[in-house]
């Protein structure tokens, strides 16, 4: 089963993706993690995107699509993918459709974690204290939220027509959100 989980930064996508991947034995595909790992390992891509990411801007579709392609075509991960943070733009969504079609896969469930800006700000402030992530200062948070709204809204419109699309209230407690998602997935 392949799943997409998306929503604004700080909506709890990562937490829910980890929970689902543990329950269903899926591979969490977090483009944020993939990009941060490039930066950490000082690869050519990493050097290229370091500033972009720390400012809260998006990496280019070219870079992200390339990273995703490797994962989608990894035989070990076939039909066991949970996308977290991808697709974030309409062109990424269309690219994913193409990659899935070529690799004979499809998406079974699409979850949109919807959450208000104020809740997100509070959560990310808390996470910054706990994890000390360089991209998590307040102005970055606001920029990421606005960038999200601008580029991801068309993704929402694209997927919301799909019969496997589920909108979940992301301002609820983490465990309640998990329960709702698990009920839909019947696990």
Beta strands 81-84 and 3-6, pairing class: parallel
Gap between the Cα atoms of 36 and 46, Å rounded:
8
Residue of 7, 8, 32, 170 that binds ligand AMP (CB under 6 A): 32
CB closer to ligand AMP out of 35 and 168: 35
Q: Which of residues 102-121 bind ligand AMP (CB under 6 A)?
A: none
CB closer to ligand AMP out of 56 and 170: 56
Q: State yes or no: residue 159 binds ligand AMP (CB under 6 A).
A: no
Distances (CA, A) of 76 to 25, 68, 102: 12, 14, 16
Gap between the Cα atoms of 187 and 68, Å rounded:
26
Nearest to ligand AMP by Cβ — which residue?
32
Which two three-digit tokens encode residue 148?
Answer: 């999200």
Residue of 4, 5, 11, 59 that binds ligand AMP (CB under 6 A): 59
Residue of 5, 20, 29, 35 that binds ligand AMP (CB under 6 A): 35
User: Strand pairing partners for 109?
Assistant: 3
Stretch of 19-27, 28-36, 73-81, 101-109 lying at the interface with ligand AMP (CB under 6 A): 28-36
Segment (H or E) for 109: strand 109-114
């Amino acid at each position: 089963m392949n799943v997409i989980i998306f929503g604004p930064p700080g909506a709890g996508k990562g937490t829910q993706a980890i929970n689902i991947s543990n329950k269903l034995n899926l591979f969490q595909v977090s483009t944020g993690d993939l990009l941060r790992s490039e930066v950490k390992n000082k690869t050519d891509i990493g050097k290229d995107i370091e500033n972009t990411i720390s400012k809260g801007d998006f990496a280019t579709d070219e870079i992200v699509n390339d990273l995703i392609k490797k994962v989608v075509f990894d035989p070990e991960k076939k039909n066991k993918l949970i996308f977290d943070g991808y697709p974030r733009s309409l062109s990424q969504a269309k690219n994913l459709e193409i990659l899935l079609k070529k690799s004979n896969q499809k998406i079974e469930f699409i979850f949109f974690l919807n959450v208000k800006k104020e809740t997100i700000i509070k959560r990310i402030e808390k996470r910054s204290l706990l994890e000390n992530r360089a991209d998590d200062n307040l102005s970055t948070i606001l920029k990421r939220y606005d960038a999200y709204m601008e580029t991801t809204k068309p993704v929402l419109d694209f997927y919301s027509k799909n019969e496997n699309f589920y909108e979940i209230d992301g301002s609820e407690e983490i465990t309640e959100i998990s329960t709702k998602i698990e009920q839909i997935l019947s696990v």
